[in-house]
Structure 1
Amino acid sequence: MGYAKVLLGVLLVSALAATSTAQQPARFKCSKENATCTALIDYTSPNKTTLSAIQKLFQVKKFRNLLGANNFSSSTSDKQVVNATQTIRIPFTCVCSNGIGLSNRSPVYTVVKDDGLSHIAVDVFSGLVTYQQIADVNGIPDVNKIDVGQKLWIPLPCSCDDVDAITVVHYGLLVKSGSSVEGIAESYGTTSATLLSLNQMVNASDLKAGQVLDVPLKACTSNISSTSLDYPLLVAKDTYFYTAKNCIKCTCGSANNYTSLDCEPSGLKPLSNWTTCPAMQCEGAGNQYMIGNVTSSSNCNQTTCAYTGYDNSTIFASLITESTCPASASPTNGIQGLRWNFIFISIQLIFVCLHLSH
């Protein structure tokens, strides 16, 4: 019996050592001390599950924002089946401290019978963290000793830093077998050099399957006031987000060429202490416009009633005029071209008239 216990202990230590070799800790640089932001990370369940179970595991407060992070239809049920190895993006709050970013004291996992730190890290949370990281942030001196019912903070990697002077949403991409740095960069609208720098990699060949890679996603710009309760509101490309206590839905999609955030009334019942959503209108030119309404459009300029934030009692909106022209197109150039065409045609007509008079 004593020999069996010794052998079991040796095997356990060997297994943990093998795991630490294969599973490298992901540490995302985050220089904005104490800053918070919304981040995304991949999750692949080892077994068939449901969106509801995933929401519970990661303690995503609003189910609709889990849908938005994956660009699922807003009518998708929380009972929607998620197959084994299917990837789901998890939205969570990131906080920067001591040069790195971690999920803000969430999710918290409750230890069940027969759990081990390695199992929790590798299987339950699909390798997003290492067993040693869990031990470190929870002050566990012996990685082989955890108790049933013990609460463990799972420190997901993240960042709130700008990238190349641009505000982005940092996405923890779980690298799949056969992926390349160049291919990932092309898929997500960034460069190989940026990915290598962000992830402190010397060569593209250092990329490993199962690695959590920091990928910067473009975010639509918004008109959110710095005093708003949802500031800064960052919505990544091809995602949507509910804000203002569920009263407003904001989308960053191809309809607006991934530039300005497109917000509109959600049509949902509000959360918290609001019984109904406050007024969501702009006032201008003697008329009232609902958030999301285009009030005027001429040449390359468009005026829209834009969502600008909320507080405990009010939703704010302002008339915002923005250019809708492609960068290469200029309305002035177009007008000048028409003018030159008019002058040219006029000269031609003058010559024709002179010829006929003779």
Structure 2
Amino acid sequence: MIGYTPANSTTLSSVQSLFGVRSLLSLLGANGLPLSASPNQSVPAGSPVRVPIPCACSNGTGASDREPVYVVKKGDGLDFIARTIFSGFVKYQEIAAANGIADPNKIQLGQKLRIPLPCSCDDVDGLPTVHYGHVVAARSTVAQIASAFGTREDTLLRLNGMDGPKKLLAGQILDVPLRACASSILNNSMDHNLLVPNGSYAITANDCVQCSCSSSCLTTRNTSVWAQCPSMQCNRNLSLGMTFTVGCNSTTCAYEGYNNQMIITGTVANTSYCNGTSAGSRHGLGWGHVFVVLNLGLLSLGMF
């Protein structure tokens, strides 16, 4: 995921198109925007937008997987494309190498260029992590950035190969680790590698399920693949996102993944609900739930 800051006012659909984000829902989720947000919603100049990008990783390094693809326009040069169009997230030499361009000064009008944006699939400190590409603003400090994104100064320095905070430069692309919330998704699910950081949500299971760190996974009313979303019940009386409470004990129906035919759910039992120290046991791990009884509505609300 990267924090793209447009130089000029633009729209969500334009950002989606520029970066080849396959679904507007992915862009909305990364930014915690309502599902009802218009693709024509304005993005002011200088306002960061979290852009999810697919990452291909090998031997400890990563680059965006086949996306985005940029079509050369009149007056473009590789350095302009790298610095201005893509906000310095990539160098012109990297674009040239990714596209087999021997002479960076010779590109053609209408030529399609793969833009190899930086990304990472690595855990940080042994924990699942969403890597966020952050453009350092003038007069920023490592301490300020660490505080803003809920991480540690030493983690930022180590992750970015910096031997001290004074090495930070304005315009530098910083790899910022965003802690992903715990997940109950099974290893054999088609979305087993889904990571969701705080302040965002993800639409999964063929657009039938919405998951976030601040709530259990809930049903949506959208589907782009299935004619209608499959049943999402743990039992006859408990559907996805519902919690049943008896005394100090509660049981929640949690999302555990999907395949081509069905959506998989399982129960999470909490046995010390009254004293505020719920001890969950599941048929699996468990999203970081804020338990909401009968909450099946849409959430109205961010791999480099």
Q: TM-score range by the shorter chain?
A: 0.7 to 0.9
* 1:309 aligns to 2:260 (yes or no): no
Q: What is the CA-CA distance between 1:90 and the residue it aligns to?
A: 0.1
Q: How does 1:144-223 map to 2 (within 5 A)?
A: 144-223=105-184
Q: What is the CA-CA distance between 1:325 and the residue it aligns to?
A: 6.7
> Which residue of the partner structure matches residue 20 of structure 1?
none
Q: Which runs of 4+ in 1 moved over 6 A?
A: 323-328
Distance 2:175 2:91 in 1: 16
Gaps in structure 2 of 5+ consecutive residues:
280-304
Given that 2:130 and 2:177 are in contact with CA atoms closer than 8 Å, whether structure 1 keeps it comes out as yes
Structure 1 residues 294-329: Cα deviation after superposition (integer angstroms, max 9, x where no partner)? 023654x53210011011110111112247779995
Distance 1:107 1:326 in 2: 50
For residues 330 and 223 of structure 1, do their structure 2 counterparts lie closer, same or farther at Cα, with a shift above 3 Å needed? closer
> Which residue of the partner structure matches residue 47 of structure 2?
86
Structure 1 residues 10-66: Cα deviation after superposition (integer angstroms, max 9, x where no partner)? xxxxxxxxxxxxxxxxxxxxxxxxxxxxxx101111211111111011111110110
TM-score normalised by length of structure 2: 0.87
For residues 217 and 327 of structure 1, do their structure 2 counterparts lie closer, same or farther at Cα, with a shift above 3 Å needed? farther
Letter in 2 for 1:60: V
Cα RMSD (Å): 2.0
> Which residue of the partner structure matches residue 267 of structure 1?
221
* 1:132 aligns to 2:93 (yes or no): yes
* 3-state SS of 1:158 partner: coil
> Which residue of the partner structure matches residue 299 of structure 2?
none
* 3-state SS of 1:102 partner: strand
In terms of fraction of residues, the more helix-rich structure is 1
For residues 145 and 79 of structure 1, do their structure 2 counterparts lie closer, same or farther at Cα, with a shift above 3 Å needed? same
Letter in 2 for 1:265: T
Distance 1:327 1:90 in 2: 40
Given that 2:60 and 2:122 are in contact with CA atoms closer than 8 Å, whether structure 1 keeps it comes out as no
Letter in 1 for 2:52: P
* 1:293 aligns to 2:242 (yes or no): yes
Distance 1:81 1:132 in 2: 32
Letter in 2 for 1:318: G
* 1:46 aligns to 2:7 (yes or no): yes
Structure 1 residues 143-189: Cα deviation after superposition (integer angstroms, max 9, x where no partner)? 10111121111111111111111111111111111211111111212
Deviates more, 1:40-49 or 1:314-323: 314-323
Aligned length: 279
> Which residue of the partner structure matches residue 194 of structure 2?
233
Distance 1:121 1:294 in 2: 49
Gaps in structure 1 of 5+ consecutive residues:
1-39, 257-261, 332-358
* 3-state SS of 1:118 partner: helix
Determine which of 268, 279, 296 is the counterpart of 2:231: 279
Distance 2:247 2:177 in 1: 34
Letter in 2 for 1:72: L
Q: How does 1:45-84 map to 2 (within 5 A)?
A: 45-84=6-45
Q: What is the CA-CA distance between 1:288 and the residue it aligns to?
A: 3.0
Letter in 1 for 2:179: K
Structure 1 residues 233-284: Cα deviation after superposition (integer angstroms, max 9, x where no partner)? 110111001000100000112xx5xxxxx2010122x112x1111111111x
For residues 297 and 180 of structure 1, do their structure 2 counterparts lie closer, same or farther at Cα, with a shift above 3 Å needed? farther
Q: What is the CA-CA distance between 1:99 and the residue it aligns to?
A: 2.4
Specify the structure having the higher radius of gyration (Cα).
Answer: 1
Deviates more, 1:322-331 or 1:111-120: 322-331
For residues 137 and 83 of structure 1, do their structure 2 counterparts lie closer, same or farther at Cα, with a shift above 3 Å needed? same
Given that 2:250 and 2:273 are in contact with CA atoms closer than 8 Å, whether structure 1 keeps it comes out as no
> Which residue of the partner structure matches residue 288 of structure 2?
none
Identity of matched residues, %:
47
Distance 1:48 1:78 in 2: 14
For residues 324 and 68 of structure 1, do their structure 2 counterparts lie closer, same or farther at Cα, with a shift above 3 Å needed? farther
Given that 2:271 and 2:278 are in contact with CA atoms closer than 8 Å, whether structure 1 keeps it comes out as no
Distance 1:42 1:133 in 2: 19
Deviates more, 1:90-99 or 1:196-205: 90-99
For residues 137 and 318 of structure 1, do their structure 2 counterparts lie closer, same or farther at Cα, with a shift above 3 Å needed? same
Given that 2:270 and 2:278 are in contact with CA atoms closer than 8 Å, whether structure 1 keeps it comes out as no
Letter in 1 for 2:239: M
